Structure 1
Amino acid sequence: MPGKRPSVKNEKQYEKLKDKGMSKERAARIANSPGASSRGGKSSGSGTRRGNSSQGGTTAQKKAAGRKGGRATARKS
């Protein structure tokens, strides 16, 4: 057994999560996850979405840009 406490890859992040009131187990899982240390706990931010004409602008602006607008488009999933 290496010690009383299991090793955590990102000790600094682990301590901050514990200070926020997170359980030891959950804080350790997050601190040990591969993406958490490189991103610093931030979301991946996949960028802009394509093909979703239900977001952004008025119907007139969408039509001017060559996109469909209105309720029928927003309901489509």
Structure 2
Amino acid sequence: MCARAQIKDETKYQKLRDKGESKEKAARIANASAAQGGKKVGRKGGKNPSYDDWTEEDLLKRAREIGIKGRSSMNKSQLVKALRDH
């Protein structure tokens, strides 16, 4: 359980992961929600577009930045999944 100790709202985290959010984003939202309350966090909203809206070239560049292996042979949907799973 040590690796997951930083998650403050496990239920919110799991719901976000089930919806396809990355581990990092789900943890960030779940922790902010636990600290500030869900309604306040929900109003704030995100500033970055969804990976689905990125070009394949931009997805590949981001995958390279964070070190996803096998990225050069992935198509756009595989890159999106790999980035969300990272």
Common topology (TM > 0.5): no
Q: TM-score, normalised by structure 2?
A: 0.39
Instruction: Specify the structure having the higher radius of gyration (Cα).
Output: 1
Q: TM-score, normalised by structure 1?
A: 0.43
Give the structure with the larger helix fraction. 2
